[in-house]
Structures are given as C-alpha cells and as structure tokens.
Amino acid sequence: MRLLYFSDNSGNHNRRFLADLARSENEIWFLDLSHKHPPERWLPQGVRWVQPRRMCRRSSDPSVVEAFLPEFRALLKEIQPDVVHAGPVPSCGYLTTLAGFHPMLLMLWGSDLLRDADRNAEWMRATEIALRGADGFFCDCETVRHFAQRIAYLPDSQIVQFPWGIKAGQFSPVGPLPLAEHCFPDPGGVTFLCTRSWEPVYGIDVLLEAFRRAHERNGDLRLVLLGGGSEGNRIQDFISGHGLGKVVLMPGSIAAAEVPKWFRAAGVYVSCAKSDGTSVSLLEAMATGLPVVVTDNPSNREWVVEGENGWLAAEDSAAEFAEKLLRAASLRPEERRGIAEQNQRIVAERADWDKNFPRLLAMYEHLAGSAVRR
C-alpha cells in the first residue's frame, strides 16, 4: 500500500508515527507543508521525503494554505497514494478535502479542534469542510472525538482512537539520572518538572507565578524547565526579576534519550497547558511513577482523578496551581508510593504504543480496501 503522510511540521510526534510506519510493509511518503528539507538526521530510514516548492508557516490561516492546492494536486497525481493520512484538520485535512482525494484518514491533533477551530469563521469553515470530507478519523481521546462528532457525522466503524502513548519500558522509575553537574547544586526537598515548550499555549507564565507563590511558602521547592521556545526572554526576565535563579533550572533542549533521566530525577510533574488532547508528556510522567499537577480540562480528567493520582487546577489560575503544587510537595512516602503504582498501572493498561499502533495500520487497510473513493 502507498501511504502519503501529510502534516505541517517535522516534530517529534510525526517522527514517531513515521518511524513505526517505516517498519510496516507499506511505501511511506512524508509531506511537510512547512519544510523544504527534513531536519538533520530526522527522517526515519525507509520514508520518502516529498519536497514542496511552496511552503506555509505552521498555523497559517486556511486562506493562506489554499495557495498550496495546485501543487498538492500535482503531487497526488505523481505519488498515486492508496491512502492520505492528513492532519492537522484546518490545514492538511482541509487541503486534502479541497483536492478531492479519497480515501483520507483525518488525524485530529487536539488543539486544531479544541482551540484553532474557534479562532474565527474562516477556521471553523475549514474545520467543517475537512471533517465532512474525511473517510476515516484518528484521534487520541474522548474529548477530541466528541468535539468532532458535534461537527460531522463520524460512524464508529470509521474511527480509530488511542492515546499517543509510549513504548513499554521507555519511562520508568528505575534507571540512570542526569549527571550531577547538570542539576541543582542544592536540590532541595521536592523538584517539579515541566517538559512543555515555552509557547503561550503551554502557560509557562502561569507555572512560574504559581511556583513563585509556592516557593514563598516552602523554600525547599525547585523547578526544572526543559526545552525552550518563543517565551524564553520573558521567562528569563521573570526568573531574574523575582530572584529565582538558584531554584529554577533550565538545562535547554535535551536529547530524547536523556529525557527519561529528568523524569526520574523529579518529584512531581506539572503542566499549565491551556489546551491538550492526550498529553504524551503526562503519560511519560505517569509511567515514571510521578504524581502530577495539570490543567483541569476534559482531556486530562480522562487520566487524572483529583487527589488520587494527581491534582487538577483551573486554567490560568496561578493561585490554584500554587495550592496544588504545595499539596503535591507534602505527600507522605506511603502516599507517593501508592500514586506511583497507580499511575504506572494506568499507562501500562491504556497507553502502550506498541499494543495500540496496529489499530492504525488496520484502519489504513480498511480504507484502502473499501469503496470510499468518491
């Protein structure tokens, strides 16, 4: 089977899908609207890169993306795919529908529906057109599925749903830790870890204010911010302006193989994201046995029960997040052990990537073999 995987970024999520697709008995092409060339050593072996002449910045308005339509039609004619796997919805899914290609498996990323669709009438129109033109749907949680079903009729036989989970054993409490010279010289009592990008949607400003308030009441708290992003200068200014330089650690971008070490070195995982489907970083934390403090939204409530295996705080409420950070920091050892066992069990039962991924392959076969070419 020939599969064209069509997206608007060359991020870690897409690479993981492509790496497993490359191990299947299919011919895989990858088209990224935003890149002419793949990042160095990014493209999995066996995947063919489709080099576009025209590019569109990620999250461009649908009217901007439409300019790629003639080239996309020509690429479809050249590649002759049996199935197009397209997403996000208002860009790649929208274009595939406009091109009139079938069968299309539409991948719902989460934020493309939960936030982007409501930007304005143009974005909602593109979302509706993509959803109604798709032949199959792939999503990672009930929240996203229900939102999509309010817009378009999605029969269960055409939906494949599972979390963008993790490989068994990749994240666990047992294993090496970061080198001591990369950590706090005085680690303190409890270290909170956030692995979200430093972009507005991930609420790093809320996290920093919440941590500042919590640290005022418990000076033994520490915070690690992995990665980077466009909010870097504001984050640095906040930390220096509030004298938090010795208790907030920013190691920079970390190689994927090193990330599990930082989860093991932490005491609590925290995310103040304003929008999420099933958060992979949340699952990574749970697999490591960490208690979690995350935004109170429907997607996170599919994984976190308040006071049982973590805590939920209102979006944009630094005060509420601060209270939940302090509760997590005050866990007794036996409570921490109980949460660790529960979170590891939840991930093992529901989010094993290798167990779930064959369902996506089966959906491709279903679409390719069914009479959905309109």
Stretch 331-353: mean pLDDT:
96
Cα(276)–Cα(144) distance, integer angstroms: 9
* Residue pLDDT, tens place only, 87-127: 999 999 999 999 999 999 999 987 878 888 888 999 999 99
If we measure between CA atoms, which residue out of 275, 274, 272, 294 comes closest to residue 283? 294
Q: Which pair of tokens denotes residue 101?
A: 């290609």
Find the CATH number of the domain harbouring 114. Answer: 3.40.50.2000
Q: Is the pLDDT of residue 372 over 70?
A: no
Q: Are residues 46 and 10 in the same domain?
A: yes
Quickly count: other Cβ atoms within 10 Å of residue 353's Cβ.
18
Q: Are residues 88 and 192 in the same domain?
A: no
The answer to whether the Cα torsion of 317, 319, 322, 328 is positive or negative is negative
Q: What's the half-sphere exposure (Cβ side, CA atoms, 13 Å) at 21?
A: 26
Residue 141 lies in a domain: yes
Residue 173 lies in a domain: no
- What is the structure's pLDDT at 374? 47
Q: Are residues 291 and 364 in the same domain?
A: no
Percent of the chain past pLDDT 90, that is, above it, reads 79
Residue 196 lies in a domain: yes
Q: Are residues 294 and 199 in the same domain?
A: yes
The total number of structural domains that make up the chain: 2
Locus of tokens 């899914």: 93
Q: Are residues 23 and 146 in the same domain?
A: yes
Q: Are residues 345 and 364 in the same domain?
A: no
- What is the structure's pLDDT at 371? 53
* Residue pLDDT, tens place only, 174-230: 999 998 778 887 767 899 999 999 999 999 999 999 999 999 999 999 999 999 999
Q: Are residues 87 and 201 in the same domain?
A: no
For the whole model, what pTM was predicted?
A: 0.87
Q: Are residues 128 and 232 in the same domain?
A: no
User: In the chain, which ranges are continuous DSSP H helix?
Assistant: 12-22, 62-65, 69-79, 94-98, 111-114, 121-133, 142-151, 204-217, 232-241, 259-265, 280-287, 298-301, 318-329, 333-350, 353-369
Residue 69 domain boundaries: 2-164+353-369
Q: Are residues 234 and 141 in the same domain?
A: no
Q: Are residues 204 and 303 in the same domain?
A: yes
Q: Are residues 20 and 133 in the same domain?
A: yes
Residue 174 lies in a domain: no
Phi and psi dihedrals of 40, rounded to 5?
Answer: -55, 130
DSSP 352: B
Cα(233)–Cα(139) distance, integer angstroms: 34
Q: Are residues 189 and 123 in the same domain?
A: no
Residue 54 lies in a domain: yes
